[in-house]
Structure 1
Amino acid sequence: MSLLSTGLAVLALTAVTFALVARLRLERPWLQPWAIVRACVQLGILSLLLTGIIADPRWVAVFLVVMVLAATAVSARRLEVGMRGAVVVLLVIAVSAAVPLGVVFTLGAVGVDSRSVLALAGIVIGGTMTVTTLMGRQLNAALSTQHDEIEGWLALGATPRRATQRLVRMAASTALVPSTDQTRTTGIVTLPGAFVGAVFAGASPLEAAQFQVIVLSCILLAAAIAVTLVSAAFGAPATLRTPASAATATPRDAIDPSRSAP
């Protein structure tokens, strides 16, 4: 695989993506090409850094912290939460990723070496970020549009958390769909990256399959913890906006931990 052929393929794929998105007149059609540019730059820098990072566990720890902070920044920006909300998102991503990783390494399912920790943690943190963002956006949309349902429950004497229970469950179920479907279709619809990478690195197909199952199990547990924590933090607004104000409100107005009741 030459650098020139890789560049030409990426350029062609990105150009077609941009043309389709622009033709559909979607919002900010430049986001996809910009994402590719960023990915190329970031992967290039990562390739240079990993040689030194992998050799030193301390640098691996620093790099994992940077990954969590970057994931938090992306998710918090998507959800348009304030500083307090960003802290909550940070805790959600950190805890959700740490629990399954702790289980795997404690039980010895994966060796506690720099390469394994970095590879597994990177995948789990990325999956946790995606689920957290999806859960937050789905919940925000529900709280903004289903005002009458929530108000009706409150009028009947329900607590804020009970009034939003159905909407929270729907948002959580939707957020879990990608990771669940990825697990269900592994080996049938897709050949997952961890499996292919392990085989290319010299592992036997059985060893690669074992690692992939661990990865998928970690992603599922991290996703379940993430939706649980998001539900606890944002799923019981203490006040409701009127339907008119909901139409012009930002996600920050709906998803705000300072406005959540027990």
Structure 2
Amino acid sequence: MNLAVNNQGLLLAFSLVLITMFIAYKEKLEINKDLIISVLRAIVQLFLVGYLLKYVFKVNNFIVTLALVLIIIFNASYNAMKRSQGMEHSLRTSFLAIFISTGVTLSVLIGVGTIKMIPSQLIPITGMIASNAMVAIGICYKNLNLAFRDQRQQIQERLALGADLKDTSLPILRETIKIGVQPTIDSAKTVGIVSLPGMMSGLIFAGVDPVHAIKYQIMVTFMLLSTTSIASFIACYLSYTSFFNERKQLR
């Protein structure tokens, strides 16, 4: 089954964006500027990535593929860092969390033969993994900032009673990791019943047997659960000390 999207179809599909802009204008949401910028950026970025991937797939070089994987991980780390609200070493923390969680997940998938070390498989899977890790880490950063601010009194009381930094922060860390992983868990609960995710839908569109498409989607669910949990764990445990000064006082 061959699928083709022509220019006329894209122009007609743009009417969906116009509907969104009309609603935003009518309700005075003041987001139309951001909508236009986001749409233009998406078009330019996707075309650039499309031509780049076409070249990378054709070359099929391991070094080039690895370089692109690292670029994906760095960009995800940089965007996660933006959610940290000024936390110390947040770019380094984000990079380590995404690099390790992505590396562990990819190693398992490659090791069991689910995916191959070829750019057409490695790069899209890396993008899926890194983007979900990025979102989870961003959620963790937001919750850490809120929790350390809202629970300031309780934290100071624990410190006054002689608790070390880890024991003082442990309730916040556990709750934050849970919050970071929860969207992926909720998505896993409804997959196949409420939603037909991208990989599964794409394979079905391409004419793949739905049963085989389901197996791929189960694999994706497993890998996203793994990635978000590892990334949230690493990001939280590398970040909590930044809320204290060198004298172990809450900043």
TM superposition score normalised by structure 1: 0.82
Match of 1:246 in 2: none
Q: Shift in Å at residue 71 of structure 1? A: 0.7
Residues 184 and 78 of structure 1: is their aligned pair in 2 closer, same or farther, counting only changes over 3 Å? same
Number of residue equivalences = 240
Check conservation: 1:124, 1:219, Cα contact below 8 A.
Answer: yes
1:178-227: CA deviations, max 9, x gaps?
Answer: 11111111111111101112223343222211111111111111111111
- Aligned counterpart for 1:164 among listed residues 162, 169, 173: 169
Distance 1:149 1:24, change over 3 A: farther
Offset of 1:22 from its aligned partner?
8.8
2:196 pairs with one of 185, 191, 196: 191
Which among 2, 9, 20 is matched to residue 6 of structure 2?
A: 2
- Look up the match of 2:250: 240
In the TM superposition, 1:1-262 aligns within 5 A as: 1-13=5-17, 16=20, 19-20=23-24, 23=27, 30-55=33-58, 56-58=60-62, 59-81=64-86, 84-236=89-241, 237-238=243-244, 239-241=249-251
Secondary structure in structure 2 of the residue aligned to 1:235? helix
Change (3 A) 1:72 1:14: farther
Is contact 1:14-1:36 (8 Å) kept? no
| Between 194-203 and 77-86, the greater mean CA deviation after superposition | 77-86
- The more displaced of 77-86 and 51-60 is 77-86
Please report the RMSD computed on the Cα atoms of aligned residues, expressed in angstroms: 2.4
Work out the CA distance in 1 between the residues paired with 2:238 and 2:25: 35
Query: Which whole-Å CA distance do the structure 2 matches of 1:161 and 1:119 have between them?
Result: 37
Q: 1:48 to 1:214 in 2, by over 3 A?
A: same
Q: Secondary structure at the match of 1:164?
A: helix
CA-to-aligned-CA distance 1:12-39 (integer Å, 9 cap, x gap): 436525843994758x774444333222
Consecutive unaligned residues of structure 1, counting only runs of 5 or more, are: 242-262
Amino acid at match of 1:201: A
